[in-house]
Structure 1
Amino acid sequence: MTTSDRQQRPRRRKRRKQASGLSIAAAGAMIAGALSPSPAWATEVTVTTGAELIQAIEDANATPGFDTITINAPIVLEADLPQITDGLFIQGVNGAAVDGNAGAHRAIIAENIDLLSIEGVDFRALRGSAIHASDVAELVIFSVGVEQATGHGVYVYGNGTRIEKSARRR
């Protein structure tokens, strides 16, 4: 063995130790990542019919997290909307409206949730209130119109409920 071989040998060993140390750290990080819980992904869906809106609310209720439903057209309800049981953002675009079909159906009912936000939707010809919020920690209503509801336009009940950014559409 030559002198240059002896000088290279310790360097090789040192490099191997460093490389194995990095491999152990990388493996530890991978295991930690695999053991940590995966985040709950919220749903985002666009609807154009009453049936799609009902299904979107049911799916949002079944999915933990703050979900978004975009209403992209005027909708005539064929049935009552299900109660909202989880945080939800409903936004309207392109003249979005929810029509209760001559007062036959009810619209938004939410109870015991942290957040309900409704923006840019008109509610028409509904049975009961257009928006019924009971014990909703935060209720955000912006640019919402209500016409011909047999109950209250917007009914809010319970401790901790607050309305922000409310506006009347003319």
Structure 2
Amino acid sequence: MTDDTARADVNAARSLLHPAAGTMTSLGPGVRARAAALLLRQALERGLDGFWQRVTPHMTRVGKHRILCLGPYTGRETARRCYLTWSALSTACHYRVNELPPAPLEIQSRLLEVEALLSTLDRGRTVPYAVPPQPPAPEDAARPSATPATPPPAPRPVPKPGPPPGRRTAPPFAAGP
């Protein structure tokens, strides 16, 4: 189950993006969107910590590897969505002088994506991880097999640089007098 603080971060980000009616805010929409992006990224990281705590507790000590190793456990699509969302939120969190702050609508879409990812991570493993088969033992390799060995395919020729076939090269450029 995802940590309650991750859900609290998502709710705090939602209240930053949509302040209550009649509330006087001293922060502009871009600053609120950047703060919401920071809270959403933190919520996603806490959701990943909770997921890996259930799968293997040692993975929570590793930073970005938590996302990179997610594919075999949750499926490639969930891992891809998680990586893209985390990357977009990380980019939105950083302040750059020559760039505008993130748009509140962009962060709102990321909020919905983080909520969906947190619920997916709450469900746990969606893909059973299969252990790859072991290579044959060395004594098995020494025995002749029933099928004859096929030779490796011949290497393909690499085309030489130059004009395409059927075209002549341009005459050399001669400097005028």
Larger RCO (alpha carbons 8 Å, 6+ apart): 2
Same fold, judged at TM 0.5 (above) = no
Bigger share in strand: 1
Q: TM-score, structure 2 length as denominator?
A: 0.21
